[in-house]
Structure 1
Amino acid sequence: MTFRPATPADTVVLRQMMATSNGYDRPAARAMIERFSAGWVVPEMGHEIWLLEENGEAAGFYQLIPHGRDQELDLFFTADAFQGRGVGRRLFEHMLERAGLLSAETVIIKSNPEAADFYRRMGAIDIGVDPPGQEITWERPTLARPL
């Protein structure tokens, strides 16, 4: 498995990974992620979107965005077919390394409720709750992972 920066050519594959993710099975969550992913694109440059591949197949990806002096984990997806194989852990460890290279001291995570326990197992701690807003109609645990 290898990591590489995502490119605009990866947009369709990453949109599909988001739209079909088994982490969004609730009807409201499925509708939200389908709408979001349909309009999302990998920008040309100036981004932190990393893709993990195995034999040319997308296994997962994440996106970091600046959050003050720190970084926010904005997107984090493991392809359904790759779950249970340590891919999520590899993605998370790579993300922590990248955040450190960007001089962050902490990674902020506004989590899908179904994914929060994964982040806690990775060492993130609860720091609050993000209220519903815009297209997300449910509360999201907010976590922080010190580097």
Structure 2
Amino acid sequence: MNIGQAAAASGVSAKMIRYYESIGLMPKIVRTESGYRVYSEHDVHTLRFIRRARDLGFSVEQIADLVSLWQDRERASKDVKTIALEHVSVLERKIRELQEMASTLKHLARTCHGDGRPQCPILEELANDDATPAPAKPDAKFGALGKTSTR
């Protein structure tokens, strides 16, 4: 099948298929005498594997490791599990960071009057050079940013 058919069958765009081939995530694809790529069912299966791994947020490097392990019938499942659990840790950290950001923004939005006045605590906090780069956890006494609010 051609690249368009492989893209349709795998759910991976033709552009991404070419990219995966260029970085070695996909093996070099057989080409016709005129230079057109010809994909096998095995190639499409590999593309689906890659797409599912990307959907789970694995990095290209992790996917390369997973593809290699998938193709190695002598692999140890512990190697795959290690990659998966490391990725889970990264995802959980990102979730915590996003929750902290949402909490901070909710706090700032509650302190903003949202009326016609020009004063805006949200913009003031963004412009604050003394603000910490990472969002702070909410504190019942001091608010989400760890300081007393006068707004």
TM exceeding 0.5: no
TM-score norm. by structure 2 comes to: 0.26
Higher strand share: 1
Could you tell me the TM-score, scaled by structure 1's length?
0.26
Give the structure with the higher percent helix. Answer: 2
Task: Answer 1 or 2: higher relative contact order, Cα 8 Å, separation at least 6.
Answer: 1
Whose radius of gyration is greater, 1 or 2? 2
